[in-house]
């Protein structure tokens, strides 16, 4: 087919070379945007994995702490550092509210945080080993869910 016949059958908007150039630039920008989005998601995923891995290594040290209250304080601190590494800012409570988790998981961690705050701010708060285990279990489940 010759060029005259092709141009005759083409959409009038696409006959102009400047329109083709514009469409090519638009397509290139779309491709670049897609690549950047994918790179950002990959980086975030790797950052989360690294943060959780570091937290899990630190978590192993909790077994050496005998005081139940101190174990809870340390566990919350480990998770807080992991969330900081992931880019979350603010208090631990603010970070929790920004993270989407299952409602039950969120409530368990929220309850654990309330006990942690009582330990930190009310001298003489006594924590049983069973309470500590419940709180540590909630924190650990949360750590694996983020």
114-138 residue pLDDT tens: 999 999 999 999 999 999 999 999 9
Question: How much helix, strand and coil, in percent to the nearest 5, is found in the chain?
Answer: 80, 0, 20
Q: Domain 48-145 falls in which CATH fold?
A: 1.20.120
Per domain, the residue ranges of the chain are: 48-145
Instruction: Note the pTM of the prediction, 2 decimals.
Output: 0.66
17-31 residue pLDDT tens: 777 788 888 888 888
The CB density around residue 131, as the number of other CB atoms within 10 Å, is: 16
CA distance 67 to 54: 23
55-92 residue pLDDT tens: 888 888 888 999 999 999 999 999 999 889 888 889 99
């Amino acid at each position: 087919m010759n060029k005259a016949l092709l141009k005759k059958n083409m959409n009038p908007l696409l006959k102009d070379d400047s329109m083709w150039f514009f469409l090519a630039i638009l397509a290139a920008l779309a491709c670049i945007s897609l690549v950047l989005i994918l790179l950002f998601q990959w980086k975030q995923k790797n950052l989360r994995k690294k943060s959780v891995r570091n937290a899990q290594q630190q978590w192993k040290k909790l077994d050496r702490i005998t005081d139940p209250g101190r174990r809870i304080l340390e566990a919350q601190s480990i998770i807080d550092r992991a969330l900081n590494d992931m880019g979350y800012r603010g208090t631990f409570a603010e970070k929790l509210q920004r993270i989407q988790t299952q409602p039950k998981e969120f409530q368990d961690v929220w309850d654990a945080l309330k006990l942690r705050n009582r330990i930190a701010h009310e001298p003489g708060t006594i924590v049983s080993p069973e309470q500590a285990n419940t709180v540590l279990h909630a924190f650990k489940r949360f750590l694996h869910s983020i």
